[in-house]
Amino acid sequence: MKITKFIVILIAVSLLTSCAGKREINDLAIVLAVGIDKGEKQKFKVTVEVVRASDARGQTGSPAGNAGDPMWIASAEGDSIFEAIRNISTYSSRRVFWAHNYVIVVNEELAEKEGIKDIIDFFTRNPELRMRTWIVATPDKAGEVVSTQTGLEVIPGEALSKLFRYNPISAVSPRTQIRDVHTAYLSESSDPIMARVKLQERVVPNKADGGGGGGEKPPGGEEKGKGEPSIKQIEMSGTTVFKKDKMVGTLSKKETRGLLPFIENVGTAIIPLTCPGKEKEKITVEVKKNKVEVLPFIKDNAPFYKINLSLTTNVVEANCDFDIDDRKMIDEIERNLEKKYKGYIKSALEKGQKEYKADIFELGKTFENKYPEKWKSFRENWDEKYAAAKFDINVKAEVQSGVLLYTPTQPGSRGK
Amino acid sequence: MKEKITNGMLIALIINMIYPKSIGVSQGVMAREIGSDIWLATIFSCVQALIIMAIVVTIVKNLPKEPVFTGKLKLFINGLKRLIYILLFIFFIVAFGDIMLIFVYHLRDYFLPEAPVWVFVLLGTLIGMYAIFHGIEVSGRLALLGVIFVVLFNILLLLGSLKQFDIRELQPIFNSGVGKTYWASRHMLTDWAAPIMVTIILISDVNKIEFVRKSTIIGVLFATGIMVIWPILEVGVLSAEITAQFIVSCMQMARNAEIGLFIHRYEMIMVAFFSFSIFTQIITTLYCASYSAKKIFNLDDYRKMIIPSAIILSGYSLWLLKDHHHAMHITENQRVTVGLSLLFIVPLLFFILGFIYKWKSSKTA
């Protein structure tokens, strides 16, 4: 009996060391962002942004370690994404580790010519990656995007992630994660979209060029205008539209506003409107809630959609005299907002349906849910049916409050 | 070493014997057949399992005391009993392979891709051997813990996924037709065969046998409740297409869950909870196989059959898991044929045995 126990303990001790497949943290190159471009010699060029943990602790521009940059940028080409990554490992001293990757940046030229099938496949097949990783497209070099320090963060990948985390505030790009793109790609009716980001020169007014109060020129900066220094920053810039896996076009920021209610809950979009009766003055409303209802019907053997969008808003800034008690003025603001949103939706639908012929609004799915039998005959030639679909767009806006103020902000009555 | 289990332990064992396989691999298999209707197929299978469980428990529980047989009839009865336990042993070999598939594909594919399959099979089997050496109560106690952890697992998953849930993905219901949905439920019903067969073996070890039918019904209903959440979430969060694409769809769900900003990638925590259930399955199946082997060879103690059973069961598992295609092909096809056939044949043979016992007793009286 004692011998049996001894043998069991001996086997357990030798097998339960937890050494199988171990990965020491100091052997890992922790990727925080990856950029995928079209290669010059081979199909893909993969650029990874690897964090240098010891140098990434301090404030922006003042890393705590001594080695310098808080990140290490590495890139390599390959005929497949995996090959490109393996080629990085030919000169990386550590093993590339994906589990903490924040964002995948895809170059639009690559997305247009080669498609994103390989990208979806690689990033969903790999067990290290999260399915909630952000995925974006860019007209710039993806490698440049992932290596550009932007916003307040030391690590560009983290900055990009935070850009998405707080993007409902601006509501100019969808919040696309690899799971969404994967779902849309596998769907028989819907087509994928990706948030679009681009590098934008931003003037830094408090930093003079070449010393004198401002200090040194910011990294990556370029002179613009009268010696004003500027740096490239990453900014949200609408939506990239795909037909199956190939990029077919983009939606502008305004068109994206028309798309967003179909696919996600728009948090707090800010819409500037003309003041009722005062063309030159502006009144700004913030969309607090939105609810979209897409009702499919069949008309002349083609789909017909009734789109009902209801918006709940607050007036957050008024250049003109805005009084929450003034029903007539509120009605006019509401009509203006309805007209504006109807325009956004119309232009988004127009582009998606007519120009790109891509069902990015999940209209096929909505139709299938209501008419499962009819869908069986529509699914084969859904592209044609979708192109022939007609829409009736109804927007109902409601201004609910003027936030803290009750009466208009106007000069005092002294001297009148 | 206690050889008895409480009715609560039996309930817990039923839940643990069905949960790990049914929430992921089987949902993926069904999604490949019927798409978004997998939650309906799950409910179909649970209703069928409830009926079969009630019938089986009634047959086995009411098996009359064996009368004295002589001559050819004695040989026939001994042969029939041996056949029943041979079939049960075959069933547990197949069931063990299934459990190892779950164990290996969860841990190896998602966490330790470089570790060899034999390490998982060997470790699982060794732990199972050690546990059953100390009696079936070990498995019963672990099953109680397993239930607590699978409930926690479900709560964690709900917290991390509900925000992404889209009910439109579940529509239209019965998209593939009622008949096809019902037919797809065979995969889940094969999973249900494991707790039903385990109940056949353990029924005589339950403390209060008079309440055993009630206990098994509670077990099936409770398991249905915590299980059916999964296909609903898998379709509503991932979509039927993604559920169908992956071998282990539940891991894809776990990989997708996120609570707030700071708790993501907590599938390791979820798998830790889940592992209690898997170990309960390993231990219980090994026990049932050893018990069946004891009956085949007419031995007095199942412990003598632990090592031979473990060798056969783990050998089959290693053969099954030699590659993904081989394992999944057998899981989707041959396993269903063998599992469902035995699910109906074994209770039928018990019924015939009971009928002969009753006939002989009345004749003797």
Task: Identify which has the larger pLDDT, A75 or B69.
Answer: A75
* B292 in a structural domain: yes
DSSP state, residue B207: S
- What distance in Å separates residue A104's CA from the closest CA in chain B? 16
Determine how β-strand A228-243 pairs with β-strand A222-224: antiparallel
Q: What is the rounded average pLDDT of the residues A63-80? A: 77
**DSSP structural state of residue B63:** P
Strands A103-107 and A134-138: parallel
* Lookup: tokens for B269: 């925590």
**B74 located within any domain:** yes
pLDDT at site A66 = 55
DSSP-derived 3-state class of residue B66: coil
How far apart are alpha carbons A49 and A72 in whole angstroms?
Answer: 6
- Whether residues A20 and B115 touch (CB distance < 8 A) is answered with yes
ipTM: 0.85
Q: Write out the two tokens for B130.
A: 């050690």
Domain membership of residue B18 as a residue range: 7-358
The per-residue pLDDT for B351 is 94
Type of residue at A61: G
Q: For A184-221, write each residue's pLDDT tens digit.
A: 999 988 999 999 999 887 766 655 443 333 333 444 44
A178 to chain B, closest Cα gap in Å: 10
User: Which of A97-106, A347-356, B63-72, B173-182 is predicted least confidently?
Assistant: B63-72
CA distance linking residue B356 with residue A353, whole number of Å: 73
The answer to whether A148 touches A94, Cβ cutoff 8 Å, is: no
User: What number is the average pLDDT over the span A96-112?
Assistant: 91
In sequence order, what are the residues at sequence separation of 6 or more whose Cβ sits closer than 8 angstroms to the Cβ of residue A219?
Answer: A149, A231
pLDDT value, residue B256: 85
Report how many Cβ contacts below 8 Å link chain A to chain B: 61
Q: Do A130 and B265 touch (CB under 8 A)?
A: yes
The partner residues of A223 in beta bridges, in order of sequence, read A229
Angstroms from B239 CA to nearest CA on chain A: 7
Region class of A415: left (phi > 0), else alpha (psi between -120 and 50), else beta: left
Beta bridge partners of A103: A33, A134
Tens of pLDDT, residue by residue over A297-316, are 999 888 999 999 998 888 88
Q: What is the pLDDT of residue B1?
A: 54
pLDDT value for A224: 46
Q: What is the pLDDT of residue B2?
A: 59
Contacts of B348 (CB under 8 A, 6+ apart): none
Residue identified by tokens 């199988």 is: A20
d(CA B104, CA B248): 11
Superfamily grouping for domain A252-406: Nutrient germinant receptor protein C, domain 3 (3.30.300.210)
Q: What is the mean pLDDT of residues A270-274?
A: 85
User: What's the pLDDT at A414?
Assistant: 54
A58 backbone φψ class: left, alpha, beta (φ>0; ψ -120 to 50)? beta
Q: How does pLDDT run across A132-167, given as a tens digit for each residue?
A: 899 999 999 999 998 887 777 778 888 888 888 776
| B111, B116, B256 ranked by CB distance to A131: nearest | B256
Of B115, B123, B258, the CB nearest to A21: B115
Task: Determine the pLDDT at residue A205.
Answer: 62
Query: B5 in helix, strand or coil?
Result: strand
What is the block-wise mean pLDDT of chain B (365 residues), using blocks of 10 residues?
Answer: 82 93 91 94 96 94 86 90 95 95 90 88 92 90 93 90 89 90 95 95 88 93 94 92 91 84 78 90 95 94 94 96 92 94 95 91 79
What is the model's pLDDT at position A56? 64
Measured distance CA(A75)–CA(A69) in Å, rounded: 16
List the beta bridge partners of residue A45. A37, A77
Alpha-carbon gap, residue B35 to B44, rounded angstroms: 15
CB contact under 8 A, A21 and B112: yes
Residue B203 per-residue DSSP state:
G
Which chain B residue has the Cα nearest residue A128? B110
CATH number of the domain at B30, please: 1.20.1740.10
Does residue B2 form part of some domain? no
Domain boundaries, chain A: 27-251, 252-406
CB burial class (10 A; 0-12, 13-18, 19+) of residue A325?
Answer: exposed
pLDDT digits (tens, 9 = 90+) for B107-161: 888 888 888 899 899 989 999 999 999 888 889 999 999 999 999 999 988 998 8
Return the amino acid letter for A168: P
Contacts 24+ apart (CB under 8 A), A36-40: A36/A81, A36/A104, A36/A105, A36/A106, A36/A107, A36/A110, A36/A119, A36/A142, A37/A107, A37/A109, A37/A110, A37/A141, A37/A142, A37/A143, A38/A107, A38/A109, A38/A110, A38/A113, A38/A114, A39/A77, A39/A78, A39/A84, A40/A77
Q: Which residues of B touch A15 (CB under 8 A)?
A: 119, 122-123, 126
Q: Is residue B365 part of a domain?
A: no
Q: What is the DSSP string of B69-86?
A: --HHHHHHHHHHHHHHHH
Nearest CA in chain A to B173: A369
How far is the C-alpha of B336 from the C-alpha of A261, rounded, in Å? 45
Rounded CA-CA distance B196/B10 in Å is 11
Q: To the nearest whole percent, how much of chain A has pLDDT over 70?
A: 87
Region A42-61 average pLDDT = 76
3-state SS, residue B209: helix
Q: Which residues pair with A247 in a beta bridge?
A: A242
- pLDDT computed for residue A213 by the predictor: 36
Q: Cβ of A13 under 8 Å from any chain B Cβ?
A: no
